[in-house]
């Protein structure tokens, strides 16, 4: 998440998230819809049907983030960062609370974004969470049992607030570490590192710094062949999506700009580059100014899923063609004809 969007989210207060009461229930697909689809290129028609709708599944969140589909159970987990909570949603049961606290377990209050942010699953089926308040990346079995810390420091210095995480087929974890979860953000007196890095946790637990020259690294994803690592930077002064070649030893080479979102930001569209995923054809589905940007592997903007709200993250679910969206106070989905890389 980035702090510029929290102002409007906090205005909603600490409402308990709920299914919208507009005729939709957990047993019907008659959900209300928001937004529109902006088509910049005919290629988007092959990925999103002409009659696709952005369905609102639940509402009332302060700032929804980090969705991940759990195939073995047919449900979605996602974070509400300010509420320090992970929620669960399924077509059968609707919305329930899954885990609280989700990212801060200490005494007293911890800033305005204490909870978990990005979520994913590892090869063992554990829930991997980026935790703001506890400033770590954790692993928790979904079948029961407590959390285990995968990493909470680099060379003895605590992370700022791990934001988003992706798992490599080698068993390594790659994650970003901007300052958004710190009580004082980049000026917080408890900061121990002077950079906002991208890190790798090797299968043996060793932590290495991969990228040290980004100002606000945020969302993270691999291309389908895992040869490219994508990083979304949520800096309004340089809102870009970067692409880095992945080396055989797990490190990354020199990055290049895949897509510059500055022209969209200048149109006063809500949001900044944040969470992102890829599909099997290598297209990048990244949140950014104006909702979810659909970008070809060559960096061409094909179109946008315009929610009308600052959109934080997305995840493939169901059979791999449904894209779930966390958009400020909303949990949404859209049916596509793409196939997710998951």
Res 158: pLDDT: 98
Quick check: 63 and 81 in contact, CB under 8 A? yes
Cα 185 from chain centroid (whole Å): 19
Residue 45's pLDDT band, with cuts at 50, 70 and 90, is very high
- pLDDT (average), residues 159-172: 98
Strand partners, 127: 121, 140
User: What percent of the chain lies above the pLDDT cut of 90?
Assistant: 90
The radius of gyration computed from the CA coordinates of the chain, to the nearest angstrom, equals: 18
Res 2: pLDDT: 53
| Residue whose structure tokens are 């509402």 | 59
Residue 17's pLDDT band, with cuts at 50, 70 and 90, is very low
Residue 146's pLDDT band, with cuts at 50, 70 and 90, is very high
| Domains of the chain from N-terminus onward | 3-335 (2.120.10.30)
Quick check: 252 and 166 in contact, CB under 8 A? no
Calpha distance 300→259 (Å, rounded): 8
Strand partners, 259: 241
Residue 144's pLDDT band, with cuts at 50, 70 and 90, is confident
Calpha distance 135→99 (Å, rounded): 17
Q: 120-144 burial, b if ≥16 CB within 10 A, otherwise e?
A: bbbeeebbbbbbbbbbbbbbbeeee
Calpha distance 283→261 (Å, rounded): 16
pLDDT of 10 above 80: no
- pLDDT (average), residues 195-215: 98
Res 269: pLDDT: 96
- Give the largest Cα separation in the chain, rounded: 54
Residue 214's nearest CA partner among 192, 228, 199, 197 is 197
- pLDDT (average), residues 103-127: 96
Q: How many residues would you count in the chain?
A: 342
- pLDDT (average), residues 41-60: 98
- pLDDT (average), residues 287-302: 98
């Amino acid at each position: 998440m980035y702090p510029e969007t929290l102002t409007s989210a906090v205005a909603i207060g600490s409402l308990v998230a709920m299914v919208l009461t507009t005729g939709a229930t957990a047993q019907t697909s008659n959900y209300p819809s928001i937004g529109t689809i902006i088509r910049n290129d005919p290629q988007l028609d092959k990925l999103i049907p002409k009659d696709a709708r952005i369905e609102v599944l639940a509402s009332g969140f302060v700032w929804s983030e980090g969705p991940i589909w759990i195939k073995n159970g047919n449900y979605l987990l996602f974070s509400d960062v300010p509420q320090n909570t992970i929620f669960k949603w399924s077509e059968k049961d609707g919305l329930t609370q899954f885990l609280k606290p989700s990212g801060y377990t200490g005494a007293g209050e911890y800033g305005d974004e204490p909870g978990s942010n990005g979520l994913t699953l590892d090869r063992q089926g554990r829930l991997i969470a980026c935790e703001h308040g506890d400033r770590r990346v954790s692993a928790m079995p979904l079948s029961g049992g407590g959390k285990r810390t995968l990493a909470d420091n680099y060379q003895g210095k605590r992370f700022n607030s791990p934001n988003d995480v992706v798992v490599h087929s080698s068993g390594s974890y790659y994650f970003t570490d901007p300052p958004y979860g710190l009580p004082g953000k980049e000026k917080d007196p408890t900061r121990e590192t002077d950079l906002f890095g991208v890190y790798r946790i090797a299968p043996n637990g060793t932590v290495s710094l991969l990228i040290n020259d980004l100002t606000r690294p945020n969302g993270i994803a691999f291309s389908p062949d895992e040869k490219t690592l994508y990083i979304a930077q949520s800096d309004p002064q340089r809102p870009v999506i970067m692409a880095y070649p992945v080396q055989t030893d797990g490190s990354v080479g020199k990055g290049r700009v895949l897509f510059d979102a500055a022209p969209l930001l200048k149109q006063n569209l809500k949001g900044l580059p944040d969470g992102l995923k890829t599909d099997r054809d290598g297209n990048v589905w990244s949140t950014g100014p104006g909702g979810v940007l659909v970008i070809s592997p060559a960096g061409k903007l094909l179109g946008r899923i315009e929610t009308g709200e600052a959109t934080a993250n997305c995840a493939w679910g169901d059979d791999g063609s449904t894209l779930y969206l966390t958009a400020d106070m909303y949990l949404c989905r859209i049916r596509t004809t793409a196939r997710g890389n998951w």
